[in-house]
Amino acid sequence: MLIIAVISMLAAVTLYTTAVFKEKKDGIIKKHHLIIFVSGLFFDTLGTTVMSMMSDSFKFDIHGVTGLAALILMFFHVIFASLVYFFGKEKQKQQFHKYSFIIWLIWLIPFITGLILNMGEKKQLFI
């Protein structure tokens, strides 16, 4: 199960990073950015769910609290991105990348703390 969590989280960070920086480079939110954000949320949710199943409990540490907050923020980010893409004015679409970047930075906190906190632990990847 760990391998599923690891691959999911790596996919999530790759997708989020790609979408955030591609959106900034393009200068406006586009449909493919939205698709990548939704895909990132899917893999983030999958990885988080698998890790939660493996640990059997929620931990009130920096990783657990920021991870839950980041997952909720990403959910609302996808909703907000959809609203801006479909109903927003041109200026809102052009400035949305600023919001995406802030959410991405917040999301990196649990990603990095998860790596740091679990780096020393030896776990079986293929069970």
In order along its 127 residues, the chain shows pLDDT tens digits of: 889 988 999 999 999 999 999 999 999 999 999 999 999 999 999 998 898 888 776 677 787 888 889 999 999 999 999 999 999 999 999 999 999 999 999 999 988 988 887 766 655 554 4
DSSP annotation of 120 reads T
Helix segments in the chain, DSSP class H: 2-26, 31-55, 62-87, 90-118
Residue 89 neighbours by CB under 8 Å, 6+ apart:
none
d(CA 1, CA 5): 7
Ramachandran class of 56: left when φ > 0, alpha when ψ lies in -120 to 50, beta otherwise: left
The tokens for 45 are 């949710």
pLDDT of residue 100: 94
For position 43, what pLDDT does the model report? 97
